[in-house]
Structure 1
Amino acid sequence: MTVPGPFATFVSPAERAAAGRRARRRVPRSAHAGFEAGPDRFDPVEVVQRQSATRVPELVPIRYGRMLESPFRFYRGAAAVMAADLGATTDTGLRVQLCGDAHPLNFRLLASPERHLVFDINDFDETLAGPFEWDVKRLAAGFVIAGRANGFSAAEQHSAVEACVRAYRRRMREFAGMRTLDIWYAQDDADRLRELMAASLSKEARRRTEKATASARTRTGLQAYAKLTRATAEGRRITPNPPLITPLRDLVTDASPHGQGQELRAVLEGYARTLSSERRHLLRHYRLVDIARKVVGVGSVGTRCWIVLLLGRDDDDPLLLQAKEAQESVLAAHGVGDRWDNQGRRVVAGQRLIQTTSDILLGWTHAVGLDGQERDFYVRQLRDWKGIARPETMDPGLLRLFAQLCGASLARAHARSGDPIAIAAYLGGGDRFDRALTVFAQAYADQNERDHQALGEAARSGRVHATTE
C-alpha cells in the first residue's frame, strides 16, 4: 500500500548501515586527519570584512575588538572562515541539520518548557543542513583552542578532543539501536549530568559544577529585568549603556523616515503571527513598553539585535524578548542546505529540529529596519535559566567532562535530524575517526592562530578599525 503525504519510503536498517559504510569508501575516516591551507587559500580578513559590510557600521569596530582579544574569541567570531575551509573538503554526504557554529560556548544549561534544567545547543544563527562531520570538526577544534588558552599541554588538549569525539561516536551508536520516538524524546537533563560528575570528577570539581547548575536557575528573565532596566518618570525603561545598549528613542526621531519605531512594532506584530494560537494568547497579556538595540556575542556583533521590554499585570510582571537579525547562514555559500525565503524562519526551523527544549515564545518575522532595508528576524525570550560554561576557569579534568557532554549532546541533535544508523556505521566501533579528529583539531587550531594574527596585522595597518571596550 502506498501512503500519500510526508511519510518516509521504507529503507531497512541494513540498507541504511550499508550507506554509511559506502561513505567510508568515498571519504575514509583517516582522511579527516590534518588540515593544511593551500597557497590559494582565501584571505580570512576579507571573509570577515564581507560579513561586516552588511552590519551596523558603528558597531563593526567592536566586533573586531572582541575578535582580537584572543584566538578563542577570534574563533567564536570566525564561523564564516571555517565554513569556507570545510566547504573546500570532500564530505561524507551524510546529512544532518547542522548547528553551523558548534564551538564549545554554544552548548549550555537551559530551561525546558517544563522548567527542568537540561544541557543543549543554544545558538542556531548558522543552522543549515549539511555533512555531520562539519559540526564535529568545529567543536573538536574549539576544545584545542580553549585548552591552549588555559595553558594546557598538548596531551591535555588531546584528551579533551578525544573525549568529545568518542562521546559523539558512542552515543550515535546508541541512537542507531533506538526507536525513532525514543531518539526524539532523549535529552540531557540535570540527573544525567550528576551521574557523569559522580563518575568523572573530583569532589572540588563536583562542588563547582553543582554551583554552576544552581547559578543557571537564577539567570532568569527577572534577573535580566533588574539588571537591564530602571524606574523613570515615564515608568520602567531599559537602561542606556551606549554603544552596547542604546534605547530606540535615542536612535530615531519623529523626523525619521519610518516614524518613532513603527517598523520595530511591525517586527513584533509579524512575529506574533508565527506563534501557535495559545502562545499568541499568552503574548496578548503583555503591553509593549520599551525597545533598545543591544550588542551581543562575538560573531553576532553588528547584526541588528533588539531587546524588547513588555509588562503584564504591573512592573513586577515583565517579559523580555530578544529580536535578532537573521542573515544567510555562513554555510549557504558552500553548496549545502536548502534556500530559505526568510532567514529567521530558517533559524527557528533548525532550532526546533535539533534542540530538545525550544523556547515557547520562539518565532520569526520580516520587517523594514531603521535604514529602510528589509530584514529577517527571529525572536525568543532573553535569558531563561541559561548557564554559560566558562572554559577559561576549567581544569583539564573539567574541560574533558565538558567536552564529553558537548559531544554527546551534538550526537543527540544530529540523530534527531539525520540518519543515526548510517552515521554510526560510518563511524564504526573503533577509534579511527576519534584519532583523525584529534589530529585535525590541532592543525586547525594552528590555522586559527595564524588567522587571528592576520586580523591583528590588519588592525595595526589600518585595514580594519578595532575598538577596545
Structure 2
Amino acid sequence: MVTMNESPSSASERAALGKATRATLPRSAHAGFEPDAKRPDPVDIIERQSAARVPELVPIRYGRMLESPFRFYRGAAAIMASDLGAFPHTGLTVQLCGDAHLLNFRLLASPERHLVFDINDFDETLPGPFEWDVKRLAASLVIAGRANSFPAEDSATIVRESVRSYRERMRELAGMHTLDVWYARDDAAQVEAILSERLSRSERRRVDTASAKARSRTGLQAFGKLTRLVDGAPRIISDPPLITPLHELLTGTERDELERTLYALVADYATTLSSERQHLLGRFHVVDMARKVVGVGSVGTRCWIILLLGRDDEDPLLLQAKEAGNSVLAAYSGASAYENQGERVVAGQRLMQAASDIFLGWERVIGIDGRERDFYVRQLRDWKGIARPETMDPAALALFGRLCGASLARAHARSGDPIAIGAYLGRGDTFDRALAEFADDYADQNERDHQALADAVAAGHVTARTDLTA
C-alpha cells in the first residue's frame, strides 16, 4: 500500500531522501514499457468497470473508445493503473489526479472570476507515487502526436519538454516557502504572457481566441444551449440517450421516487459547502433534472444535470451530480481514507487545484434499486476552455505539454514533498529521456489494447454504439 509521506523535518534531510530514492529506483529505470506476462486482458478490465454502470449506456462508451487510439486512451485509466501498479515505484507520494492525460488540463474560472490553467478531472484521484501522473501525461502526448501523424522524434521531443517543465517547476517550488507553494497558481494572463514570447502572430491569435471562448462558456451559455421554454418555463432539452429528462426516463411511482431522491441530493449535499455557500445555494430552487452522458471513460456512470433558478427564469444555476465509484488506483495504492467516494473526489480536487468551484460538494443517496451510491456535485460549466490537440502542430503541442507539466508539478507540490521529488529528479534530463522512451512504448501498447477492443466488438463479445460522438 502507498501512503502519504511523513517527510524528514529539515530541507537537507528531505533532499537526501529524494536522492537516496535513486538507489532504490534509478531515474533511468522508468524508461520503456514491457507488459508483464500475466498482464490482465484489457477488455476484461473495461468490462469489470462496466458491470457497475447503466447497462444501456455502456455501448456508447465502447463506441467512443473505438473511434481512435487517443479516444481509447481517455477511457482506459483503469488499464494503465493496472500496468503502473505492477511495477516498482519511487514511494514519493502526492495526491494524484489519477487520469492526467492532456485533455484533463484546461482553462477554468476561479471563485474570484480569474481565468486559470489547471487540472479539471479528479474522478480517479488518490494518493500515490508522483510518477504515475507524469507517465499518464507523457503517454497521452505521444498518442496525440501519432493521431496528428507527427514524426516519432517530434513526439519524443514534446514529451521531453513536458517532463522537463514538470521537473524544473518542481525544483523551483522546492525552493519556495510553504505558503507560497500553496498560493501558487497559473493565471491565464501569465500563461498568455509566456506563450506570447514563443508563438507566431497567428498562434497568439489562437490563444487569445481560446481564452475568449473559455470566458464565454458560462452557466448562462450552457443554459441557453441546454434548455428551452415549455409552457412559458425553462426546461432541459431532450436529446436521448445523451440527455434524457427525468420525466422521459421513468414513469409513475419510479419517476416520483427518483425525483424525490434527486431533490434530497441537492438539499443534503449543501451541508458539505461552507456556510456562506449554503446560503447562496439557498437562493435557488430546483425546476428540472435530466440524465446526461459525459466524456469517454465516464460514460455509463450515473450523471444528472439539475436546473435551478434564482430571482427569475433568466437567473439559472446548472449543477452536475456525477456518480463516484472507487478510484482505479485503489487496488494498487490503497483504499481511500474517505468512506464516501464523492468526498474522495472533492477532497482530492480541493487539494490539487489552486481554485475550485464554489459549489463543489458531495452526498450519498439510496437509489430506487435500494443501492447506496456516492455523488459529487459541481457547476456544469464555468469558463472552461478545452484544448484541441488535433489542431496543433508539433511546436504548439510542445508548448501545451510544457504548460501541463508545470501545472501538474504545482498541483503535486501542494500535497507532496517538492524538495524530495525535486532532488530525485535532479538537474539533468535523465528522467525526461526515460519517460520519452516509456511514453513511446506505452503508446504502442495502447494501440494493441485499442485493437483488442475492436476485435472484441467484431467478435460480438461486447456491443458498441458508433453512431454517437462526444
Partner of residue 17, structure 1: 15
Match of 1:451 in 2: 449
Letter in 2 for 1:333: A
Between the two proteins, the alignment pairs up a number of residues equal to 462
* Cα drift, residue 39 of structure 1: 2.4
Q: 1:234 to 1:263 in 2, by over 3 A?
A: farther
User: Aligned letter for 1:357?
Assistant: A
Contact 1:258 1:370 in 2 (8 A): no
Give the match for residue 44 of structure 2.
46
Which string of whole-angstrom CA distances, capped at 9 and with x for unpartnered residues, describes residues 229-282 of structure 1?
A: 000016110000000000111122232286251111121122111111110100
Other-structure match for 1:4: none
Query: Secondary structure of 1:255's partner?
Result: helix
Q: Tell me: CA distance 1:81–1:155, structure 2 relative to 1, closer, same or farther (3 Å).
A: same
Contact 1:30–1:433, Cα closer than 8 Å, also in 2 = yes
Counterpart code for 1:241: D
Contact 2:7 2:14 in 1 (8 A): no
Is the contact made by 1:254 and 1:260 (CA closer than 8 Å) also made in structure 2? no
Question: How many angstroms apart in 1 are the aligned matches of 2:335 and 2:193?
Answer: 37
Of the structure 1 ranges 153-162 and 397-406, higher mean CA displacement relative to structure 2 is found in: 153-162
In the aligned structure 1, how far is the partner of 2:7 from the partner of 2:386? 41
Render the CA deviation track for 1:175-204: whole Å, top value 9, x for unaligned.
000000000010111222122212221111
**Where does 1:70-219 land on structure 2 (aligned, <5 Å)?**
70-219=68-217
Give the whole-Å Cα distance in 2 for the aligned partners of 1:393 and 1:296. 22
Per-residue Cα deviation, 1:133-172 (whole angstroms, up to 9, x for no partner): 0000000000000000011111111121011100000000
Q: Identify the residue that residue 323 of structure 1 maps to in structure 2.
A: 321
Cα distance, 1:397–1:234 mapped onto 2, change above 3 Å? same
TM-superposed deviation, 1:348: 0.2
| Cα separation, 2, equivalents of 1:71 and 1:381 | 30
Pick from 260, 266, 271 the counterpart of residue 268 of structure 1: 266
Unaligned residue ranges in structure 1 (runs of 5+):
1-7
Distance 1:287 1:255 in 2: 23
Distance 1:438 1:271 in 2: 43
Whole-Å separation in 2 of the counterparts to 1:351 and 1:38: 32
Taking the aligned partners of 2:335 and 2:342, their CA distance within structure 1 comes to 15
* Match in the other structure for 1:228: 226
Alpha-carbon distance change, 260 to 427 in structure 1, aligned in 2, over 3 angstroms: closer
- Retained in 2: the 8 A contact 1:291–1:307? yes
Counterpart CA distance in 2 for 1:316 and 1:390 is: 31
- In 2, the alpha carbon distance for the partners of 1:464 and 1:258 equals 33
Contact 1:320 1:381 in 2 (8 A): yes
Match in the other structure for 2:462: 464
| Counterpart residue number, 1:384 | 382
User: What's the counterpart of residue 5 of structure 1?
Assistant: none
TM-score, normalization by structure 1: 0.97
User: Which of 235, 242, 264 is residue 240 of structure 2 equivalent to?
Assistant: 242
Q: Pick closer, same or farther for the CA change 1:257–1:318 going to 2, 3 Å.
A: closer
**Preserved CA contact (<8 Å) 1:258 1:372:** no
The 2-side partners of 1:179 and 1:337 are apart by 31
Given residue 222 of structure 2, which amino acid in structure 1 is its aligned partner?
Answer: A
Residues 130 and 412, structure 2, Cα contact 8 Å, conserved in 1: yes
Q: Secondary structure at the match of 1:384?
A: coil
Assess, with a 3 A threshold, how the Cα gap between structure 1 residues 313 and 144 changes in structure 2: closer, same or farther: same
Q: 2:339 aligns with which of 338, 341, 359?
A: 341
CA distance in 2: counterparts of 1:329 and 1:461, whole angstroms: 30
What displacement does 1:15 show? 0.4
Contact 2:127–2:333 (CA under 8 A) maintained in structure 1: no
Could you tell me how far apart the structure 2 residues matched to 1:216 and 1:407 are? 21
| Structure 2 Cα separation of the partners of residues 300 and 260 of structure 1 | 21
Do the aligned residues in 1 keep the contact of 2:54 with 2:302 (CA within 8 Å)?
Answer: yes
Choose the corresponding residue for 1:314, options 312, 315, 323. 312
Q: CA deviation at 1:336?
A: 3.4
Q: Aligned equivalents of 1:268 and 1:198: distance in 2?
A: 43
Residue 86 of structure 1 contacts residue 134 of structure 1 at CA under 8 Å; is this kept in 2? Answer: yes
Q: Tell whether 2:412 aligns with 1:414.
A: yes
- Shift in Å, 1:318: 0.3
Deviation at 1:370, TM superposition (A): 3.6
- Tell whether the 8 Å contact from 1:362 to 1:380 is kept in structure 2 after alignment: yes
Match of 1:397 in 2: 395
1:351 aligns with 2:349: yes
CA distance in 1, matches of 2:41, 2:163: 30
- TM-score when normalising by structure 2: 0.97
What's 1:3 paired with? none
Indicate the RMSD between aligned Cα atoms, in angstroms: 1.2
What is the SS of the residue equivalent to 2:197? helix
Q: Structure 2: how far apart are the matches of 1:191 and 1:263? A: 42
Which residues of 2 match residues 431-446 of structure 1 at below 5 A? Answer: 431-446=429-444
1:311-366 CA-to-partner distances (Å, cap 9, x unmatched) read 00111100000000000000001133534210000000000000001001100000
Runs of 4+ in 1 over 3 A off after TM superposition: 335-339
Q: Provide the rounded CA distance (Å) in 1 between the counterparts of 2:248 and 2:207.
A: 41
Q: Give how far 1:456 is off.
A: 0.2
How far apart are the structure 1 equivalents of 2:94 and 2:440?
25
Please tell me the residue identity of whatever aligns with 1:364.
W
Equivalent residue of 1:109, what SS? Answer: strand
SS across alignment from 1:188: coil
Check conservation: 1:352, 1:358, Cα contact below 8 A. Answer: yes
In structure 2, the residue matched to 1:27 is 25
1:58 is aligned to 56
Paired with 1:210 and 1:335, the residues of 2 have a C-alpha distance of: 40
Asked if the contact 1:33–1:438 (Cα under 8 Å) also holds between the matched residues in 2, the reply is yes
Letter in 1 for 2:409: A
Encode CA deviations 1:14-69: one digit per residue, 9 max, x unaligned.
00001101111100000000001132211000000000000000000000000000
Indicate the larger mover: 50-59 or 155-164. Answer: 155-164
Please identify, of 130-139 and 184-193, the stretch whose mean Cα deviation from structure 2 is larger.
184-193
Counterpart code for 1:38: D
SS at 1:299's partner residue?
coil
State the distance in 1 between where 2:134 and 2:125 align.
14
Q: Distance in 2 between matches of 1:395 and 1:370?
A: 49
User: How much identity, in percent, do the aligned residues show?
Assistant: 68
